[in-house]
Amino acid sequence: MREITCATILDLAGARGPSRITLDGDRIAAVRPLLAGEAFDDLLVMPALANAHDHGRPIRTSSIGGFGRPLEAWLHRLRLFAPVDPYLAAAVPFGRAVMGGQGAAMVHYTGVQGLTDYVTEAKEVARAAGDAGLRIAFAVAMRDMNPLVYGDGQPILDALTPTARKEVEQRFLSTPPLSAEAQMERLDAVAESIGSPLVDVQYGPQGVQWATPGLLEAIAEGSARTGRRVHIHLLETRYQRDYADRHFPQGIVRHLKDIGLLSPRLTLAHCVWARPDELDLIAEAGATISVNTSSNFALRSGIAPVAAMLKAGCKVGIGIDGSAFDEDDDIIREMRLVWSLHAGWGFDREVEPAQVLEAVLAQGHATLNSPVTGRIEPGAPADLLVLDREALDADALMEVGPVELLFSRGTAGFLKESIVAGRTVVADGGPAGLDFAGLQDELRSRLRKGVAERGGFARILPELEATLAGHFRDRLGCC
Ligand SMILES: [Zn+2]
């Protein structure tokens, strides 16, 4: 049993004044208003926040020169990362996630280290999440085509000098993709091995431009049969929009519906370039869109039509996608950014703070199969974010509500404590379950060594990127 007294509770029921919250194990046992004269700490308590799209990437990608590069060039650059111990590679981002105010996060596992078999690696990722105290959904990344560009990669290879071509063939084309059947079997083995109340295993097709129709159909069938959720990137960039329009003239979202993938079990990351009729179909199906505002800035993808999504009735969650605005995994700043960009100008009110709170406190959690509902009430999970309200309101000139304080200046820097399933996962400014500084030092030193060993690839990157830029810019990625 544990008791927290606070000045303010902010949840989806609204804001409440001084309260006492009683926790019993991993549940909230009681919540009651304090009586006049009862002492309390000057804290703001909220339900835990969910990061509805991410990959658990070990380190900031601007550190390998990724900043400001379009997705289609940035993805290739990630091969500068050497494979490292999967526990280390996951524990560091999970530590950053909990320090960034996240209580639950999607791990769309696209960056396989490959030093052991896949199931062993997934177990290490789950162990790291357990140590960090982060609830995760682990989406097994699935793809089986288009390793270089969206379509035939031969013109790219033909345009490269022999040295660059050799590097590219070795880095991107030397391992044939697994069959759809083998990928489905691998997913079942992972689910069997790491599925738990804190780890939800999901299908993670990487995108319609990276998965054959057969693979997507197998996933749709598997999801319908097992009830397991599906997490996929969709229409992140204008080049993906172009690919979808050329290959699915009936409409890519309609196609997803036709094959049974578009369902309440589906999360679509991005939808930056989705059209109004597509948003209507997504809303009608009850699928959720995870928007990734900062990532869309960093990779020059565009601005997602968030107000239109909400108006259409789409469920919306908020993702960090490994690239928060300050590259620090701060989901509190991220929700402010979403509101700032989409709230409407002047007296127009397109998106309300309450809708942004609904995204991080409820919709995001639902996509991760996390039990958090955005309410602080008896019986709810003991997943709480405890912020320093006194510091947030340091001016203290007059009474200003918690929503205004949070959306004007909130960041994870105000985090006093984070509790997930009844356990303190952040205290005193750091992850309680990890030697974060030690792990980060070790990871950085291994990755530095890895980059140095990849000098040959680093040297041909400018040539590859110039070729890719020409390919996408001149022909919109059309081979
Ligand atoms: Zn992503």
In a domain, 230, yes or no: yes
- Helix ranges restricted to H, 139-275: 154-159, 162-172, 180-194, 213-226, 238-247, 252-258
Domain for residue 374, yes or no?
A: no
The DSSP symbol for 206 reads -
Question: Of 34, 111, 161, 48, which is closest to residue 421 (Cα–Cα)?
Answer: 48
pLDDT for the residue 428: 86
Residue 479's pLDDT is 53
**C-alpha closest to that of 104 among 52, 29, 43, 161:** 52
The 10s digit of each residue's pLDDT in 329-343 is 999 999 999 999 999
**Number of domains the chain contains:** 1
- Residue 82: which domain range? 47-369+380-475
The string over 244-258, giving b where at least 16 C-beta atoms fall within 10 Å of a residue's C-beta and e elsewhere, is beeebeebbbebbbe
Asked if residue 53 is part of any domain, the answer here is yes
The answer to the question of residue 80 being in a domain is yes
24 found inside a domain: no
Describe the crossing of helices 180-194 and 213-226 by its angle, rounded to 10 degrees: 30
Predicted pLDDT at 310: 98
Distance (Å) from CA 367 to ligand 1 centroid = 15
Tokens at residue 225, please?
Answer: 């049969």
Residue 68 Cα, ligand 1 centroid: separation in angstroms? 16
**pLDDT exceeds cutoff 80 at 300:** yes
For residue 220, is it within any domain? yes
Tell how far the Cα of 33 is from the centroid of ligand 1, in angstroms.
Answer: 42
For residue 165, tell me if it sits in a domain. yes
DSSP designation for 152: -
Res. 319: pLDDT tops 60: yes
Reported pTM: 0.97
* CA of residue 387 to ligand 1 center, whole Å: 28
Contact 232, 160 (CB under 8 A): no
CB atoms within 10 A of CB 294: 22
Residue with tokens 């030690």: 438
CATH number for 442:
3.20.20.140
Tokens of 272: 């930056």
Q: Does the pLDDT of residue 477 top 70, yes or no?
A: no
How many C-beta neighbours within 10 Å does residue 185 have?
12
pLDDT exceeds 80 at position 369: yes
How far, in Å, from the CA of 137 to the mean position of ligand 1?
Answer: 14
